[in-house]
Amino acid sequence: MSDEHSRGVIALVGFNDALSETFESCNFEGREKIHFTNGMKMVSAWLDNEVNIAAIISYGEIMAPSGLALVETIKKKNLPVVPFFLIINQLNPNLRKLALTTGVADVFTIPVKTDFIDKRINFLINNWDQLKTNQKTVAPQIKSIEFSKRAFDIFFAGLALIMLSPLFLTIYMLIRLGSKGPAFYYSLRVGTGYRVFKFYKFRSMYVNADQRLKDLKHLNQYSTESVNQKEESISTSLLCDQCLAYNKCQYALYADNVEWCEKDFRFSKKASAGSAFIKIKNDPRITKIGNFIRNTSIDELPQLWNVIIGDMSIVGNRPLPLYEAEKLTTDKYVLRFSAPAGITGLWQVEKRGKGEMSEEERLMLDNKYAQTYSFKNDLKLIMKTIPALLQKESV
């Protein structure tokens, strides 16, 4: 075994060519540098090839798959705890605090100062055995799940899966027959204690939905020149402002070997905000069966499996997409993440279908649920939900 491998290697995850060259000038005391296009390939090499990784340097948003989600994956795979560093474009104190309390050794912003970063990384690697034992987690205190609540979740979700199995099979076949691609997909969501997990749904859009944006221009209900110019900029740039900085999607959806952008981020963000930027009726990116399962919320049913494996509960605060959770790291909103993540919760029951509810009110109801959470109160919420699993998500 070479001396470089005996000292361990530095895993560089998700770096483009320009940034990769930056690390070539770093002095990592003779340790070899190995480049991985994404975290999953690094984890596979670590497990299958027994690569002796001494530290990980990952490039991406804190809440993206290359950030805390990758830290969580490493923990789940029971891989050795090694220094994990993040290279990001933007940082605020709340995100830094969240990163450092959930397993990230340090965070660096672009541009990277090589004469500083190699000294910092070498120091942490060489002293890691002493430093990791002194790490303290100050994440929000997590509400413990009562045995009765967990037993109810398993019974309810298990019974629902058995009773709905014919429906699952029918929807599965219709999705596969209606368009190319897998019937199920998962995106990454942030649940209890900012834990990132795989959130399962039936696929309701074409896999190449983001590529279809350039074909939607004639469907836009607004036709001014300025709108057309802006619309054209969307169709030629399929990444949001955050992802453009990394030149790759930070919030991807996954299914088998297929990957595509989370909810066509730029398009959906403008459309959901009621912007006159683009407005499309009968969105052709959604499949025929997709319209039906969305309107009936059948696309949400695979989340019953999330309940069975303990990622979620029947009742709790809805787990959030990574880019939404990233905005809620302040003391005002952190409380919502101390409660169980769930399929249905307080704001869905109290304000479901009422257009006057603001985002702020929804978040305050999430905090209220976390403060008053108990299995008894959950049963009251379930009684008001008919049925909880088939509610629409269009509020």
Q: Give a yes or no: residue 395 inside a domain.
A: no
Residues 103 and 173 in one domain: no
Domain termination site, one of 132, 159, 190: 132
| 173 compared with 323, residue with greater pLDDT | 173
Looking at residue 54, what is its pLDDT? Answer: 92
Average pLDDT of the chain is 77
Q: What are phi and psi of 108, to 5 degrees?
A: -125, 145
Domain containing 124 — which CATH number?
Answer: 3.40.50.2300
DSSP symbols for 215-240: G-GGG-S---HHHHHHHHHHHH--S-
- For residue 319, is the peptide bond before it cis, meaning its omega torsion is within 30 degrees of 0? no
- Asked if residues 304 and 165 have their Cβ atoms less than 8 Å apart, the reply is no
Residues 151 and 125 in one domain: no
Domain termination site, one of 102, 132, 162: 132
Quick one: average pLDDT of 8-15? Answer: 90
Looking at residue 4, what is its pLDDT? Answer: 45
Token pair of 256 as six digits: 């088998």
The pairing of strands 313-315 and 258-261 is unpaired
Looking at residue 8, what is its pLDDT? Answer: 85
Looking at residue 179, what is its pLDDT? Answer: 86
Per-residue pLDDT tens over the stretch 327-380: 787 777 788 888 899 988 887 776 655 555 667 778 888 888 888 888 888 888
Domain termination site, one of 84, 109, 132: 132
Residues 14 and 121 in one domain: yes
Q: What is the DSSP letter of 276?
A: T
Looking at residue 207, what is its pLDDT? Answer: 77
- Asked if residues 62 and 68 have their Cβ atoms less than 8 Å apart, the reply is yes
Quick check: pTM over 0.85?
A: no
Per-residue pLDDT tens over the stretch 103-134: 899 998 888 777 788 888 999 999 988 777 65
Residues 340 and 242 in one domain: yes
Our count of domains for the chain comes to: 2
Looking at residue 98, what is its pLDDT? Answer: 82
Crossing angle of helices 225-236 and 265-272, in 10° steps, is: 150
Looking at residue 61, what is its pLDDT? Answer: 82
HEC string of 43-110 equals HHHHHHCCCCEEEEEEECCCCCCCCHHHHHHHHHCCCCCCCEEEEECCCCHHHHHHHHCCCCCEEEEC
Looking at residue 228, what is its pLDDT? Answer: 46
Residues 270 and 344 in one domain: yes
Using alpha carbons, list the distances in angstroms from residue 81 to 53, 75, 327.
10, 8, 28
Looking at residue 274, what is its pLDDT? Answer: 41
HSE-up of residue 36 (Cα within 13 Å, Cβ side): 22
Range of the domain at 12: 3-132
**Which range (72-76, 158-162, 168-172) has the least confidence?**
72-76
Quick one: average pLDDT of 49-72? Answer: 87
- The residue type found at 8 is G
